[in-house]
Structure 1
Amino acid sequence: MGGQGDPPLLQDLKLTILSSSVLHPSPPLERRSMFLSNIDQVLNFTVETIHFFAANPEFQSEIVVERLRSAVERVLLPYDFLAGRLRLEDEEGRLEIDCNSAGVEFLVAESKLKLDEIGELEYPNPAFRHLAAAGAVKEGVKMEDQPLCSFQLTFFKCGGFALGISNNHVTFDGMSFKNFLQNLAYLAAGGHNNTLPTPPFTNRHLLSTRCPPRVTFPHPELFETPSYAMLELSPCTATLNFKLLRLSAADISSLKLLSQPHSTRPTSFNVVVAHLWRCKSLSLSPDQDLKRTSMVLYAVDIRKKISPPLPPEYTGNAVLTAYGAASVEEVGKGEFGKVVEAVAKGAERMENEYARSVIDWGTLHRGFPKGDMFVSSWWKLGFADVEFPWGKAVYVCPVAHPRKDIVLLFPSIGGVDKGVNVLVALPKEDMDRFEEYFYKLLPTA
């Protein structure tokens, strides 16, 4: 990563692991198997989230460790599946969670650096993965022995610290992870398990396939794969150039104005996705087929979209991939407002019957989303709004593993109203064109 205008990225965070342990639910829980929906099945990969906290004189490192360790042990009672392990069930070879209380990892580390010496927090630094090293997949360790969740506290010389949480995506989507954070923070502040702010609803059978499965819509956004076990996202960095591009609140407002009068739904998210889609179409090689259908993909929360609605406390993955479709020419050179409308139709399409059709399709075909670009948004998940006893996080970000055609949206420090950061990974020539269009196509004030 890097390039003209990019900040230098610190490679060595000068870390030392002070302690490592495995935490279990206490008291021990009865062993059970946990059903995973078709949505969960395709998300068997690790997500690493780093929460940066400023120094708080009332919470020295020993107190933070004690409070968090106790909170994790207690939160594993309502979230028993976090302490379990993945396995394949016998009949269909589907993934399920063996809630066997095998435990979660808990590491404590220290850095010789101050928090303000590790670099710009907004800029995804691959070295930040060391702040969540507890969650690294162990080479040679079978799936059935890999922890599903881990926690790492890293203290800096200034008294600030980072909380790294690694979890397999089968455990949470963005909304249920935020609920988990709120429950964890509540317990760390001395709350009781029987009065959690948002008790988790863990029955994922609500997103089971219908019997018999009924695919009632075409699904051009999906392609078939032979087996759930093959669905694995791995970084492809050999020939990619990475860039963090920024849109200010003023830039987003100007894109909303540009979308008029052709769009009636110029939300911040829709105009940002439309802008990225347009840049992607224009940055492709000049000899592309302009009549080819281009597709942009993004996740939609279906909790309120299916019938009956899922409980807000539903814990698991309740997101499906929506898509916008238009010809390469229409996306790159057509009216911007019409591109925004094509994006908006993706979420509109995701009503109950369409969502059920996607879930049933997964039983018949075991597939995965496909498209020209997938926009993964951490922009408005609100993880930094969670109030821990030592305060709110200064910044929260995932450990970025840039992949071709997957664009990540991050919030700016100070909140969503400040704008959005965009991480893009493309081959160098495509990246150069993408970056040129990214700023060139923004309306001037």
Structure 2
Amino acid sequence: MASILPIPAMQDLKVTLHESILVLPSQETPKKSLFLSNIDQILNYNIPTIHFFTANPDFPSETVAKRLKMALEKVLVPYDFMAGRFKLNEQSGRLEIQCNAAGAGFVVASSEYRLDDLGDFVHPNLGFRQLAAQILDNLGPDDDQPLCTFQVTSFKCGGFAIGMSMNHALFDGVSAQTFIENLAAQAFEDKPLSVIPCHNRHLLAARSPPHVAFPHPEFSKPDMPAVSGPPVFDCEREELDYKIFKLTTSAINYLKEKAKDNSSSATTKITSYNVLAALIWRCKALSFDDNDHNREDRVSTLLNVVDIRSRLNPPLPSSYCGNAVLVAYASAKCQDLEKWPFSEVVKMVSEGPTRVSDEYAKSVIDWLEINKGLPCGEYMVTSWMRLRFDQVVYPWGKPVHSGPVVSHRKDICWVFQDSTDAGINALVSLPANDMERFQAYFRDFFPDA
């Protein structure tokens, strides 16, 4: 029904780098400065993903690398900001992107292994970090590093992986999906863009003057001296355990039935995401050190990511290119999360996104304009369940698996569909002691786990 699988131990994929270059747009692009919204401002960190492909006799890895490089050169014309660099506007204290055609990173590599040697792709391996370069070692200081890097790694079997490391300020999940579809389209001989992206990030600019109409406990102003530029939403780096919590369809149905028991609200949305997020929140909140005498009174806050494109009035274009996401929150005492019926926890998770209306979203953006704050919560659950990275059609076919690469983030859980069945996987990264307690609470929740 539900299972817990550790990340495979293989950390060295014996990767050799053959080429590490900057790719420039295929045509001259206008020199300009791109405005970044208040949501974009705080997301200045890389999100690496990996996309695996089995061997295609018509497309050996050398051909794939050439085609992908050509596609990148073409797509950097409509996506000119991806070849740019961050610049701090000294007057406003805001980050901007200088669209200067400095280039995107491109790496060609090979591994001494076959794809079969890596095991099940669904369960990301620490070694997969070698398949998605985040910096180009042959470049200089941070200012010279590209905002995105693409890596093609061939394997002995003829299969290959495409790693993509993109700064989160460039895209949210939806706009990254659109970009990848456009990149794949340009890899064909004469295919137009799948979607024309909307680059007007002023659509999410703060109002003048700002008007904060709601309290926003899901954000906090950093308690630190003023610094140049916006704060970054990140966490400290420490040694973590990584595990996949795999839930089959029957496990999800079991959670949904539990959510109906003693349900205190007929309006509770009992979805796969809501029941899984509720379970993850409960396990995370209770996984703190049992010797903490303040645990019963400690308040735990869950953040879940909400796409605001359709919630605004007027709605954003579906092709909006940038970060059109906010966090919805649910807060409760740990003792309540332990004692409440599961239906109450699901209800709280379900209620969070209902607060994110047009006026609420604008209030958040205005709050960020004034306070330059960061998301404030114990744990964030972000869903990739509706993203279709593994359905993108390249000339060499669809990926057999696409997903996130494990990172240092212990404050974020990534949830994504299992590509082998209709189940759902949750990638959890925690310090060893916390992980031990987390998985104990997870197992106890299922009768046959």
TM-score with structure 2 length normalisation? Answer: 0.92
Counterpart of 2:157 in 1: which secondary structure? coil
Offset from partner CA, 1:159-210 (integer Å, 9 cap, x none): 1000011111111110001001111111112234xx4221110010000000
Offset from partner CA, 1:22-42 (integer Å, 9 cap, x none): 211122111000000000000
Q: Is the CA contact 1:254–1:443 (under 8 Å) kept in the aligned structure 2? A: no
Q: Tell me the CA shift for residue 256 of structure 1.
A: 0.4
Offset from partner CA, 1:70-116 (integer Å, 9 cap, x none): 11110011100000000101311200000000111111111121111
In the aligned structure 2, how far is the partner of 1:344 from the partner of 1:127?
Answer: 36
**Residue type at the aligned position of 1:231:** V
Q: State whether structure 2 residue 230 is matched by structure 1 residue 224.
A: no
Aligned residue in 2 for 1:33: 33
Q: Is the CA contact 1:25–1:83 (under 8 Å) kept in the aligned structure 2? A: yes
Q: Is the CA contact 2:7–2:124 (under 8 Å) kept in the aligned structure 1? A: no
In the aligned structure 2, how far is the partner of 1:8 from the partner of 1:281?
Answer: 26
Aligned residue in 2 for 1:424: 428
Aligned residue in 1 for 2:329: 323
In the aligned structure 2, how far is the partner of 1:167 from the partner of 1:139?
Answer: 18
Task: Map residues 349-388 of structure 1 onto 2, 5 A cutoff.
Answer: 349-388=355-394
TM-score with structure 1 length normalisation? Answer: 0.93
How much is the aligned-residue C-alpha RMSD, in angstroms?
A: 2.0
Identify which range, 434-443 or 207-216, moves more after superposition: 434-443
Counterpart of 1:105 in 2: which secondary structure? strand
Task: Map residues 29-68 of structure 1 onto 2, 5 A cutoff.
Answer: 29-68=29-68
Offset from partner CA, 1:229-272 (integer Å, 9 cap, x none): 4415255223x333222211111111001000415311000000
C-alpha change, 1:258 and 1:400, in structure 2 (3 Å) is same
Counterpart of 1:391 in 2: which secondary structure? coil
Structure 2: which 5+ residue stretches go unaligned?
Answer: none
Aligned residue in 1 for 2:120: 120
In the aligned structure 2, how far is the partner of 1:348 from the partner of 1:177?
Answer: 25
In the aligned structure 1, how far is the partner of 2:7 from the partner of 2:80?
Answer: 42
Identify which range, 375-384 or 303-312, moves more after superposition: 375-384
Aligned residue in 1 for 2:405: 399
Identify which range, 107-116 or 297-306, moves more after superposition: 107-116
**Residue type at the aligned position of 1:342:** M
In the aligned structure 2, how far is the partner of 1:129 from the partner of 1:235?
Answer: 19
Q: Tell me the CA shift for residue 303 of structure 1.
A: 0.3
Aligned residue in 2 for 1:109: 109
Q: Tell me the CA shift for residue 139 of structure 1.
A: 10
Q: Is the CA contact 2:287–2:434 (under 8 Å) kept in the aligned structure 1? A: yes
Q: Tell me the CA shift for residue 402 of structure 1.
A: 3.7
In the aligned structure 1, how far is the partner of 2:7 from the partner of 2:64?
Answer: 31
Q: Tell me the CA shift for residue 338 of structure 1.
A: 1.2
Q: Tell me the CA shift for residue 143 of structure 1.
A: 4.2
Q: Is the CA contact 1:297–1:374 (under 8 Å) kept in the aligned structure 2? A: yes
Q: Is the CA contact 1:138–1:146 (under 8 Å) kept in the aligned structure 2? A: no
Question: Identity, % of aligned pairs?
Answer: 46
**Residue type at the aligned position of 1:198:** V
Q: Tell me the CA shift for residue 311 of structure 1.
A: 0.2
Q: Tell me the CA shift for residue 274 of structure 1.
A: 0.4
C-alpha change, 1:443 and 1:354, in structure 2 (3 Å) is farther
Aligned residue in 2 for 1:163: 162
C-alpha change, 1:214 and 1:393, in structure 2 (3 Å) is same
Aligned residue in 1 for 2:237: 236
Q: Tell me the CA shift for residue 8 of structure 1.
A: 3.9
In the aligned structure 1, how far is the partner of 2:118 from the partner of 2:74?
Answer: 32
Offset from partner CA, 1:351-399 (integer Å, 9 cap, x none): 1111111111111111111112111222331111111111110111111
In the aligned structure 2, how far is the partner of 1:431 from the partner of 1:7?
Answer: 13
**Residue type at the aligned position of 2:238:** T
Q: Tell me the CA shift for residue 131 of structure 1.
A: 0.7
Q: Is the CA contact 1:110–1:156 (under 8 Å) kept in the aligned structure 2? A: yes
**Residue type at the aligned position of 2:77:** L
Structure 1: which 5+ residue stretches go unaligned?
Answer: none
Aligned residue in 2 for 1:278: 282
Q: Tell me the CA shift for residue 66 of structure 1.
A: 2.1
Counterpart of 1:236 in 2: which secondary structure? coil
Q: Is the CA contact 1:402–1:424 (under 8 Å) kept in the aligned structure 2? A: no
Q: State whether structure 2 residue 320 is matched by structure 1 residue 314.
A: yes
